[in-house]
Amino acid sequence: MRLLVTGGSGFIGTNLVQSSLEKGVEVLNLDWNPPLKASHRPWWRKWDILDRQATDRHLAEFRPTHLVHLAARTDTDVQDDLDAYRQNHEGTAMLLEALKAATGIERLIITSTQFVCEAGYQPKDDQDYKPFTLYGESKRLCELATRKADLDCVWSIIRPTTIWGPWSLRYRDVLFKVMRKGLYFHPGKGKVIRSYGYVGNVVWQIERILAAPAETVHGKVFYVGDHPMDLRVWVEAISKGLVGRPVRYIPTWMVRGLAFGGDVLKAVGVPFPITSGRFRSMTSDYITPMDRTVATLGEAPYSLEEGVEAMVHWYDTESAAATAPMLIDPRHDKAPDPA
């Protein structure tokens, strides 16, 4: 296998590249940012997904047999201009055209998101969508482009749930920092079911899709992550692993008030750990269907406790050196030069 990973400098990509290197797989990471993990730099090439000539050149030089497409803009900050996410839908369409012109591609995984359907909406089939952000809409367009591409290779689409684990700078910079300072409070004790996923299990699922019999994965959509769980179970496990004590709970109305204050601070450029968006995430069910994933790929190998142990170890030993990736807005930015 010769594995090409687009977006291999991101959170999931870093874990996938590391797993590939440990298994002796020939791997190449194409990304506009340098790797989060410095030791991955020899396997990285700077790349802009909207540069078709560069894509053709890298495909011809590396000659991949397998490709996992993770490169994307993944925030939900822009709500009034789909062009802010051009690298997602237009970039993916350009990549698909390049793959049709290339030779030797056997397997392809295109990464979408659970956000192609809003919280509480259970899709009737793989092409039943209800996105609620422009990010989700851009990924819906990615899925449609993949189906229309008429590819010769075996292809699958994955929809990551809320993924956590080593190399997640979001958790490093927000949740972990707040917990270590003793400032984390959970809103109420109501049961909230969320679809979370330990990144080690997601990488395992990706690798299983790449190796599975073609007839079991071709043209299929797989949610990747773990079984939906009570959010309190996850938060308590993180707190136990990180600070060795249970989570403190405060009334929901009080957290809602703090979230409103956080919105005001965010509007003037002052970071705050809780906003209305984060509050909704902590108090609303978001359940994704995992039945097909488990039936096709099997049960993922890592437990919640094993994942927490690995993430806390990374946080204490490696996380400080990781630099947050540069966000590229295709409306006016260019990919940075290698540093």
Q: For the chain, what are the domain ranges? A: 2-167+196-227+289-301
Q: What is the mean pLDDT of the chain?
A: 92
Q: What's residue 32's pLDDT?
A: 94
What does the pLDDT average to over 222-226? 97
Binned at pLDDT 50, 70 and 90, residue 264 comes out as: confident
Is the pLDDT at 303 greater than 60? The verdict is yes
Among 132-141, 158-167, 249-258, whose mean pLDDT is lowest?
A: 249-258
Phi-psi region for residue 202, left (φ > 0), alpha (ψ -120 to 50) or beta? Answer: alpha
The label of the residue with tokens 């136990």 reads: 240
Q: What's residue 256's pLDDT?
A: 80
Helix 304-317 to helix 199-211 angle (10° resolution) is 110
Is the pLDDT at 247 greater than 70? The verdict is yes
What's the rounded Cα separation, in Å, for the pair 194 and 191? Answer: 10
Show the CA angle centred on residue 15, arms to residues 133 and 309, nearest 5°: 100
Cα atoms found within 13 Å of the Cα of residue 197, Cβ hemisphere only: 31
pTM for the whole thing? 0.91
What does the pLDDT average to over 325-331? 77
Q: What's residue 231's pLDDT?
A: 93
2-167+196-227+289-301: CATH class: alpha beta
What does the pLDDT average to over 113-129? 93
Q: What's residue 335's pLDDT?
A: 58
Rounded alpha-carbon distances, angstroms, from residue 171 to 66, 254, 273, 289: 30, 23, 11, 24
Sign, CA dihedral 150-106-69-292, equals positive
CA 55 to chain centroid, in Å, comes to 22
Is the pLDDT at 338 greater than 60? The verdict is no
Percent of the chain topping pLDDT 90:
78
Is the pLDDT at 172 greater than 70? The verdict is yes
Residue of 60, 63, 44, 41 lying closest to 52 (CA atoms): 60
What is the DSSP pairing of strand 107-111 with strand 2-6? unpaired
Among 8-22, 120-134, 210-224, whose mean pLDDT is lowest?
A: 120-134
What does the pLDDT average to over 308-327? 92
The label of the residue with tokens 């006016």 reads: 332
What does the pLDDT average to over 210-233? 97
What does the pLDDT average to over 54-76? 96
The label of the residue with tokens 């692993």 reads: 241
Binned at pLDDT 50, 70 and 90, residue 328 comes out as: confident
Binned at pLDDT 50, 70 and 90, residue 35 comes out as: very high
What's the rounded Cα separation, in Å, for the pair 114 and 128? Answer: 12
Binned at pLDDT 50, 70 and 90, residue 337 comes out as: low
Residue of 328, 322, 329, 334 lying closest to 39 (CA atoms): 322
Binned at pLDDT 50, 70 and 90, residue 330 comes out as: confident
What does the pLDDT average to over 315-321? 95
Is the pLDDT at 206 greater than 90? The verdict is yes
Q: What's residue 253's pLDDT?
A: 78
